[in-house]
Amino acid sequence: MDKNKVIKEVKKYLKKNFINESTGHDYWHFLRVWKMAKEITKKEGGDLFIIELGALLHDIADWKFYGGTHKIGTEKAKVLLNKLGVDYKIIKHVCYIIDNISFKGAKVKNSMKTKEGKIVQDADKLDAIGAIGIARVFSYGGNSGREIYNPNIKPKMHGSFKAYRNGKSSSINHFYEKLLLLRNRMNTKTGRKIAETRHKFLENYLKEFLKEWNVKL
């Protein structure tokens, strides 16, 4: 098995299928998570091939676009990786990462157990905060018909994946329901360090947003 060829073919597949995606879960998101995961691996260690595949394929079929189920992602990943001749044990680990990577609610505990999975999860979380994270929130919100902000709708700290999945909210509430929580949920020392700067950017953005929203003319 030529690992470099596998990575190249996976990237080719993602570019073909996600290059024009408009919710923030596009080809460029996959590449950013892949690059960040490789950077974290330099400091934290782990099986780089599994980490690269997990990062590239983590959102191959995000539950938000498939009725709330995670299984579509693992099914698509299995078909692709089997076609590319990837070993069964590696496919199993990559599918485990895909199944467990997603944020499932403010009060739902993280279930990721492997080092490789934790690194990919940190890379994905980092792409959800900071300047790019903000852009992705509003991209997804607009695509999903969410209001930018409604002061009459308060943020909710969901206690289950079902409640989080079915929750109706605004894009600004999503900052409180998820994004601002991610800094303290990083798995690795490297991820936590990078998250600090991006978290502060979120806080400063919200302060300015609410200042402008509440301006008295």
How confident is the model over 117-156, as pLDDT tens digits? Answer: 999 999 999 999 999 999 999 998 888 888 999 999 898 8
Helix spans in the chain (H): 3-18, 27-44, 48-57, 71-83, 88-100, 115-126, 130-143, 161-166, 171-177, 189-213
pLDDT of residue 68: 46
How confident is the model over 5-31, as pLDDT tens digits? Answer: 999 999 999 999 888 887 778 999 999
Residue 136's φ and ψ, nearest 5 degrees, are: -70, -35
How confident is the model over 70-122, as pLDDT tens digits? Answer: 677 788 899 999 999 999 999 999 999 998 988 877 778 877 999 999 999 99
Fold designation for 3-213: Hypothetical protein af1432 (1.10.3210)
Q: What is the pTM of this model?
A: 0.91
Domain boundaries, the chain: 3-213
